[in-house]
């Protein structure tokens, strides 16, 4: 169907009155991996937060739909229940809330009544194993006292457990070592290749092309100063690795 | 009705001390309008009988009412009774003057009791009771005591718990108060641990129109490991007034105070956390953690930590926060599909969890969670 996908058109967004996104057009299909690259401050995280519904980000123009549903009209929890997932660059620590209790509440919210607690626990342990997470994570409070790498793994665990229709990964690769990157890549690949109709579509926001050695994107976009200035295949990421963003900036006439 | 524990002469002295002792909470507050002096009904009337029920599964321990303790175990009882409370405990004087309802727990040397000893005080509607609990734990003894109040409507309860322990013992004393909305509950709980002893207070003030709680540990011996955990949550028009005192009068001892409070509706809370380290109490290690959560614009919590440190070779940590629920945390949870109200509830309950964790028995912890959940939801 024509309206399938995570479709963003003419999106403008501001933070505290400053326009950050200046007209974004993007469409992610299920089962496809889009990489969104760009230098610091180009607006990548603003796009992620705007789509997830962060209250500090004002969408001033444009549309965003998820399989035809108007995302921007929904509260953040309803966006998640519609099938959107955001992996945070800096997830909040919530003392006193145990990891499995939180994950079960999230799973029940997104897919009500589908799993008994026992089956849920089995699923959790299976996904944790893929991510190389020790079962002791289950006794810990949500992100409380977690290292940067542990937080990222927990974000990936949540994504694996919720199996969203579309996932936005906001710099999930930053601060991860090679082994962790491989585990993240495996988790993405498993969701991307889920059986027909259940596959996840990805928008992977990254500063460095490094993660793309572990997961090959279908499409690469480059964002500079709130606009997508170039879209291409995996070779675009390689070019950025060689030449940096400045060459693209000159070529496309984007504002420095 | 059992007779009063004090002689008429002793009682006059106690009542006089009650009248003349200051509460120590005279500091003016922008919002706190209650005069603690004004709330005591019939201070001289001696109180109704009330009831006490004691559950103890240990054949070696003594767990009995006050009359039995004074009659059959007078020598043991005298080793703890009035041995921990001090003159500045104003409301303890009142409870003492009217003491006839109460419990005595004696745990002999090297006796370890796994199953908590439960002391229940009951009062019928409108009654005033003055429950007095005395605990004596000998060398190497270990026990957990849970004190419960089962109060009728409009009751007034002014009580004391005294815990006196000997070398190497380990006593946890937990109290959880879910009194009716129009009750008034004032408790003074004082511990005097022995050398190398561990002693812990855990208290939850969740019910009553007015709840006044004074938790004290007086450290007179080295090697003590003293712990205080308290949580309170005034909602509706409840007032809660909590004071904790850890008095390091001897060095080489550790204390840890943890306070978690929230207020909603027009609930008002006041917390005063005193840590004193005497000049000669070197190598003391004291920490005080005090977090308050404000869940409505009309709720108040006034939190006043007070560290008085006269020694120069000590460790003292103090951390305090007062704030609303964190917007970023709420947003994070809602992006996982959890509704905003549910997210707020989970965060607020999680906030209390480190203090809940200090209470004995999973049943009691679950009861606390359920009561807190009901308060967050209301």
How open is the CA angle A19-A23-A27, to the nearest 5 degrees? 135
- pLDDT band at residue A254 using 50, 70 and 90 as cut-offs: low
Return the pLDDT at A211.
85
B139-173 pLDDT, tens digit each: 999 999 999 999 999 999 999 999 999 999 999 99
State whether A77 and B337 contact (CB < 8 Å).
Answer: yes
Burial of B46: CB neighbours in 10 Å, binned 0-12, 13-18, 19+: middle
Q: What are phi and psi of B334, to 5 degrees?
A: -65, -30
State whether B339 and A102 contact (CB < 8 Å).
Answer: no
B264-291 pLDDT, tens digit each: 999 999 999 999 999 999 999 999 999 9
B333-364 pLDDT, tens digit each: 999 999 999 999 999 999 999 999 999 999 99
- Look-up: residue for tokens 């509607």? B125
Burial of B50: CB neighbours in 10 Å, binned 0-12, 13-18, 19+: buried
Beta bridge partners of B309: B277
Return the pLDDT at A197.
76
State whether A95 and B353 contact (CB < 8 Å).
Answer: yes
Spatial strand order of the sheet with A69-70 comes to A18-28, A6-15, A57-66, A69-70
Rounded to an integer, the average pLDDT of A69-87 is: 97
Residue B14 scores a pLDDT above 80: yes
Q: Where are the domains of chain B?
A: 8-325
State whether B337 and A55 contact (CB < 8 Å).
Answer: no
B286 token code pair: 């004291």
- pLDDT band at residue A45 using 50, 70 and 90 as cut-offs: very high
Return the pLDDT at A253.
74
Rounded to an integer, the average pLDDT of A207-221 is: 88
Rounded to an integer, the average pLDDT of B313-318 is: 94
Return the pLDDT at A247.
85
- pLDDT band at residue A256 using 50, 70 and 90 as cut-offs: very low
Rounded to an integer, the average pLDDT of A129-135 is: 90
A124 touches chain B (CB under 8 A): no
- pLDDT band at residue B41 using 50, 70 and 90 as cut-offs: low
Return the pLDDT at A244.
87
Return the pLDDT at B94.
92
Rounded to an integer, the average pLDDT of B299-306 is: 91
- pLDDT band at residue A180 using 50, 70 and 90 as cut-offs: confident
The pTM assigned to this predicted structure is 0.89
Task: Say if strands B102-107 and B62-65 run parallel, antiparallel, or are unpaired.
Answer: antiparallel
Of A92, A109, A110, which has the smallest distance from its Cβ to B329's Cβ? Answer: A92
DSSP class of residue A246 equals H
Give the DSSP letter string of A99-153. Answer: HHHHHHHHHHHHSTTSS-HHHHHHHHHHHHHHTT--GGGGGSEETTT--HHHHHH
A120 touches chain B (CB under 8 A): no
Report helix, strand or coil for B274: strand
How open is the CA angle B147-B151-B155, to the nearest 5 degrees? 125
- Fold classification of A6-89+163-252 is Rossmann fold (3.40.50)
- pLDDT band at residue B45 using 50, 70 and 90 as cut-offs: low
A16 with A56: CB under 8 angstroms?
Answer: yes
Of B336, B339, B340, which has the smallest distance from its Cβ to A158's Cβ? Answer: B336
Closest CA to B96 of B106, B84, B108: B84
Residue A98 scores a pLDDT above 70: yes
Rounded to an integer, the average pLDDT of A158-177 is: 93
Q: What is the number of residues in chain B?
A: 378
A75 touches chain B (CB under 8 A): yes
Q: Average pLDDT of chain A? A: 92
- Range from A203-212, B22-31, B322-331 carrying the lowest mean pLDDT: B22-31
Q: Average pLDDT of chain B? A: 93
B38 with B113: CB under 8 angstroms?
Answer: no
- Look-up: residue for tokens 């290292």? A147
B22 with B90: CB under 8 angstroms?
Answer: yes
B188 with B89: CB under 8 angstroms?
Answer: yes
Distance from C-alpha of B285 to C-alpha of B377, rounded to nearest angstrom: 39
Return the pLDDT at A212.
86
Residue B43 scores a pLDDT above 50: no
Return the pLDDT at B33.
62
- Look-up: residue for tokens 């980000």? A57
Q: Which are the contacts of B26, defined by CB distance < 8 A and separation ≥ 6?
A: none
A145 touches chain B (CB under 8 A): no
Beta bridge partners of B72: none
Chain B residue numbers touching A102 (CB-CB < 8 A) = 333, 336, 346
Number of H helices, E strands in chain B: 7, 19
Burial of B340: CB neighbours in 10 Å, binned 0-12, 13-18, 19+: middle
Q: Which of residues 80-99 of A touch B (CB under 8 A)?
A: 80-81, 85-86, 88, 91-97
Distance from C-alpha of B288 to C-alpha of A243, rounded to nearest angstrom: 55
Look up the ipTM and state it: 0.95
Q: For chain B, how big is the Rg over CA atoms in Å?
A: 20
Rounded to an integer, the average pLDDT of B317-345 is: 95
State whether A88 and B342 contact (CB < 8 Å).
Answer: no
Q: Where are the domains of chain A?
A: 6-89+163-252
Distance from C-alpha of B217 to C-alpha of B246, rounded to nearest angstrom: 5
DSSP class of residue B115 equals S
Give the DSSP letter string of B163-231. Answer: EEE-TT-EEEEEEEE---TT-EEEEEEEEE--TT-EEEEEEEE-SSSEEEEEEEEEE-STT-EEEEEEE
B248 with B217: CB under 8 angstroms?
Answer: no
A190 token code pair: 């498993």
B182-198 pLDDT, tens digit each: 999 999 999 999 999 99
Distance from C-alpha of A63 to C-alpha of A81, rounded to nearest angstrom: 19
A99 with A149: CB under 8 angstroms?
Answer: no
A193 token code pair: 């290749």
B233-260 pLDDT, tens digit each: 999 999 999 999 999 999 999 999 999 9
């Amino acid at each position: 169907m024509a309206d399938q996908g995570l479709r963003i058109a003419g999106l403008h967004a501001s933070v505290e009155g400053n326009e950050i996104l200046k007209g974004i057009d993007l469409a992610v299909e299920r089962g496809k991996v889009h990489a969104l690259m760009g230098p610091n401050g180009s607006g990548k995280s603003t796009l992620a937060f705007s789509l997830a519904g962060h209250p500090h980000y004002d969408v001033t123009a444009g549309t965003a739909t998820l399989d035809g549903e108007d995302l921007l009209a929904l509260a953040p929890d309803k966006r998640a229940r519609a099938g959107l997932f955001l992996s945070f660059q800096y997830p909040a620590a919530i003392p006193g809330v145990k990891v499995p209790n939180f994950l079960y509440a999230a799973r029940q919210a997104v897919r009500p009544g589908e799993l008994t607690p026992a089956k849920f626990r089995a699923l959790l342990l299976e996904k944790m194993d893929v991510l190389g997470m020790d079962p002791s994570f289950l006794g810990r409070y949500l992100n409380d006292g977690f290292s940067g790498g542990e937080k990222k793994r927990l974000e990936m665990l949540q994504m694996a457990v919720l199996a969203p229709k579309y996932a936005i990964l906001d710099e999930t690769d930053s601060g991860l070592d090679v082994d962790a990157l491989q585990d993240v890549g495996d988790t993405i690949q498993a969701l991307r290749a889920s059986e027909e109709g259940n596959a996840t579509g990805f928008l992977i926001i990254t500063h460095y092309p490094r993660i793309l050695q572990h997961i090959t994107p279908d499409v690469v976009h480059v964002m500079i100063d709130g606009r997508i200035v170039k879209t291409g295949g995996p070779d675009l990421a390689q070019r950025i690795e060689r030449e940096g963003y400045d060459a693209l900036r000159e070529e496309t006439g984007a504002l420095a | 009705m059992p007779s009063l524990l004090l002689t008429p002469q002793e009682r006059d002295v106690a009542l006089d001390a009650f009248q003349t002792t200051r509460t120590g909470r005279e500091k003016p507050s922008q919002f706190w309008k209650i005069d603690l002096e004004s709330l005591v009904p019939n201070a001289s009337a001696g109180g109704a009988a009330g009831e006490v029920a004691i559950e103890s599964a240990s054949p070696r321990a003594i767990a009995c009412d006050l009359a039995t303790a004074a009659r059959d175990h007078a020598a043991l009882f005298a080793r703890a009774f009035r041995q921990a409370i001090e003159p500045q405990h104003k409301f303890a004087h009142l409870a003492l003057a009217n003491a006839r309802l109460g419990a005595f727990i004696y745990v002999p040397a090297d006796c370890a009791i796994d199953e908590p000893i439960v002391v229940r005080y009951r009062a019928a509607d409108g009654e005033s009771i003055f429950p007095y609990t005395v605990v004596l734990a000998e060398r190497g003894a270990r026990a957990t005591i849970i004190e419960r109040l089962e109060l009728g409507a409009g009751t007034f309860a002014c009580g004391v718990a005294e815990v006196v322990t000997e070398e190497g013992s380990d006593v946890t004393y937990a109290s959880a108060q879910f009194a009716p909305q129009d009750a008034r509950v004032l408790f003074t709980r004082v511990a005097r641990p022995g050398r190398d002893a561990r002693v812990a207070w855990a208290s939850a003030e969740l019910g009553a129109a007015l709840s006044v709680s004074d938790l004290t540990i007086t450290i007179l011996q080295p090697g003590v490991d003293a712990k205080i955990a308290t949580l309170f949550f005034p909602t509706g028009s409840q007032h809660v007034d909590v004071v904790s005192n850890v008095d390091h009068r001897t060095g080489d001892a550790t204390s840890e105070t943890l306070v978690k409070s929230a207020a909603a509706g027009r609930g008002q809370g006041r917390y005063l956390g005193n840590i004193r380290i005497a000049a000669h109490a070197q190598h003391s290690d004291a920490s005080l953690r005090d977090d308050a959560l404000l869940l409505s614009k009309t709720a108040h919590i006034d939190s006043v930590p007070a560290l008085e440190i006269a020694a120069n070779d000590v460790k003292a940590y103090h951390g305090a926060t007062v704030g609303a629920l964190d917007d970023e945390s709420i947003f994070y949870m809602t992006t996982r599909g959890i509704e905003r109200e549910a997210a707020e509830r989970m965060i607020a309950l999680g906030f209390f969890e480190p203090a809940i964790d200090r209470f004995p028995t999973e049943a009691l912890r679950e009861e606390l969670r359920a009561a807190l959940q009901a308060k967050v939801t209301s």
